[in-house]
Structure 1
Amino acid sequence: MSEQHIHTTDEHAHGEHEGMTKKKIWKVFGILLLITVIEFIIALWAIPQGHLTQHTGNYIYIGLTLIKAFYIVAYFMHLKFEKRGLQLALTVSFIFIIYFITLMLIEGGYLHVHMPKV
């Protein structure tokens, strides 16, 4: 009886992560490494040499960081292999958090948004 229970547990543990193979892990690692190298090139070469402004560089950093966050959450935290309901709940929560942070920065005067005068 206990052998059957151990066997079932092993099958369940293997089935949870069947989407991640060594090849896919290395592919995601390569993508993350490439993004990091691009960030270093921007920080150490493009901005100091004047090819990009600091303002443009910041927007590129934010975009690249969001892409890296997606890959980390999707593959290494296994969200990509979860059910759609959980994915949707986490995505909507994340969007609201970003929205509220943006609102707080605007209201606190840290972001200057040009609003038409009424």
Structure 2
Amino acid sequence: MSQHIDTHEEHTHDDHAGMSKGKIWKVFFILLFITVIEFIIALWIKPAGYFGDHAILIGNTLYIALTLLKAFYIVAYFMHLKFEKLGLQLALSVSFIFIIYFIVLMLIEGGYIHDHMPQL
């Protein structure tokens, strides 16, 4: 017979022991800071024309980068992916990268017919 019985409570407590209230608040303030930066860009910098002729491209690129950073923090800490095994982290990360790649590919190729079809 087995001497040690692994209960669900022991397993859960050991895997997620690194998530304290202090760390939760730290992640919250990081997310708040990123959101404030997004609002400053959207409501002050972009309308004032600080990005010049490429305002839409630079603004959208910054939004996407900041949103991906926020998504990383949410998935890593609040969905506990940071505390999972490396294999699961890699499987989800690689899948996410391929999904983003296919979305970008479809957006690029989606305009091909419109650009290359003769106008009727």
* TM-score bracket relative to the smaller structure: 0.7 to 0.9
Q: C-alpha distance in 2, partners of 1:9/1:80?
A: 19
After TM superposition, the structure 1 stretch with the greater mean CA deviation from structure 2, 9-18 or 65-74, is: 9-18
State the 1:16 CA deviation. 2.7
Equivalent in the alignment of 1:72: 74
Structure 1 stretches of 4+ moved >3 Å? none
Equivalent in the alignment of 1:10: 9
TM-score (normalizing by structure 2):
0.81
Paired positions, count? 105
- Give 5+ residue unaligned stretches, structure 2: 113-120
Query: Helix, strand or coil for the counterpart of 1:74?
Result: helix
User: Which structure ranks higher in relative contact order (CA pairs < 8 Å, sequence separation ≥ 6)?
Assistant: 2
Q: C-alpha distance in 2, partners of 1:92/1:56?
A: 26
- Give 5+ residue unaligned stretches, structure 1: 111-118
Q: C-alpha distance in 2, partners of 1:60/1:100?
A: 21
Query: Helix, strand or coil for the counterpart of 1:18?
Result: coil
| Letter in structure 2 aligned against 1:57 | G
Q: C-alpha distance in 2, partners of 1:102/1:72?
A: 23
TM-score (normalizing by structure 1):
0.82
| Letter in structure 2 aligned against 1:32 | L
Q: C-alpha distance in 2, partners of 1:10/1:95?
A: 34
Are 2:59 and 1:57 aligned? yes
Name the CA shift for 1:96/1:11 in 2 (closer, same or farther; >3 Å).
Answer: same
Q: Percent identity?
A: 74
Give per-residue Cα distances to partners, 1:45-92, cap 9 Å, x unaligned.
001111121221110000000100000000110101100000000011
